[in-house]
Structure 1
Amino acid sequence: MSRTSRLVVPLRAVLAAVLVALLATQVVVLPAVFARMAEQTPELAGLRWPLLALTVVVLACVEVVVVCSWRLLTMVHEDRIFSTQALGWVDTILGSVAVAWLLVALAGVLVVAAAGPTGVAALLLVVVLVGAAVGLLMVVMRALLVQATTLRTDLDGVI
C-alpha cells in the first residue's frame, strides 16, 4: 500500500469533520453570533441579516471546496488524478473561492460603510487577503495539473 493510499482514510475523516463543523456553524452558531453582534454593536444591527446571509453563502462555498477535495482525493486514490475530469473539480474549487472572496469583500465594504474602520473590518480585510492567496495558489495548482496531465498523456502514448 502506497503512502498516498494510507492517507486517504484520515484525510476523508478530516474532510467529513470539517463538513459537519461547517454545517453546524451555519445552522446553530452563526445566527447566535449575529444576534449578539446586533445587541452589542447597535451601529451594525442593520447589517445582521445581510451579513448572516453572506456568511452562510461563504461557508457554503467552503463546503463546495470540501466536496470537490473529497472527489479529487478519490481520483488520487484511484490513480485518475491526471485527467480532464480532475480539471473540472479544480475549476469548481476556483469558482467557489472566487465567489467567497467577492462576498467577503462585499461584507467588508458593508461593515466599513456602516461603522467605519473597526476590528471586524480589519478581520474581513485579512480574510480577503488570505482568500486572494488561496485563489492564486489554486490557479498555480491548476496550471501544474494541466502540465502533469499533458505529460501523463504523452507518456501513455509512448508506452
Structure 2
Amino acid sequence: MPSKHRAVGLLRILLVLLFAGLVVAQVAILPGTLASLADEEPDLAYLRWPALAFSIVELVCVQVVIVCTWKLLGMVKDDRIFSEAAFAWVNTIVWTMVAAWVLLFGAFVSVAFIVEGPGLPVLLLGVVLAGGVLVLLMVVMRALLRQATTLRSDMDAVI
C-alpha cells in the first residue's frame, strides 16, 4: 500500500526533526534558559541544576520513545509489526513513559510545596494527568497489539 509507505516516510522525517530539536534543547537552550532564570530569581537559583537534570532526563525519555517508534515503523514497513519482536520495542516505550510520568509526578509534588500561588502547580497537574492518559493509552495499545498478533498467528496457522 503506497500511502502506508508515504506515511511511514513522512513520520520518520518528523521524528528526525523532533529528535534533533530535543538535542538542541538539551545542549543549547535549557542550560542557558535555566541560568538566566537563576539570575532573575535568586531565591530559586538553587533549583537550576535539579531542574536541568530533570529536564534532560525527561527529554531523554522522549528520545528513547522516538527511537523505539522508529524501529516499530521499520517493522510496519516490512509488514512484521504483528510479531513477538515488536513487543520488546512497545514494552520499552511503555516503561520509559512510566518512568517519565513518575519523575513528572515527583516534580509536581515538589513544585506544589515550593511555589507560591496555584498557577504552576495547576499547570503541572494538567501535564501529569495528560501524561497518565498517554501511559494508559499505550498500555491499551499494547494489549490491542497482543490481540492482533495472536489473531495473525492463528490465521497463519489456519492458512
Return the offset for 1:144: 0.3
Is 1:141 aligned to 2:127, yes or no?
no
Segment of structure 1 superposing worse, 55-64 or 1-10 = 1-10
**Structure 1 counterpart of 2:69:** 69
Report how many aligned residue pairs link the two structures: 159
1:14 and 1:99 map into 2 onto residues whose CA distance is 24
Segment of structure 1 superposing worse, 35-44 or 70-79 = 35-44
Letter in 2 for 1:37: L
* Deviation digits for residues 47-84 of structure 1 (CA, Å, limit 9, x no counterpart): 11111101100000000000000000000000000011
CA shift in 2, pair 1:31/1:120, >3 Å:
farther
Percent identity over paired residues: 50
2:147 and 2:58 map into 1 onto residues whose CA distance is 30
Structure 2: which 5+ runs fail to align? Answer: none
Return the offset for 1:118: 4.6
Q: CA RMSD in A?
A: 1.3
1:84 and 1:78 map into 2 onto residues whose CA distance is 14
Letter in 2 for 1:140: V
Letter in 2 for 1:104: L
The two structures have a TM-score, normalised by structure 2, of 0.94
1:119 and 1:125 map into 2 onto residues whose CA distance is 10
The two structures have a TM-score, normalised by structure 1, of 0.94
Return the offset for 1:117: 4.1
Return the offset for 1:37: 2.1
Is 1:154 aligned to 2:154, yes or no?
yes
Is 1:92 aligned to 2:95, yes or no?
no
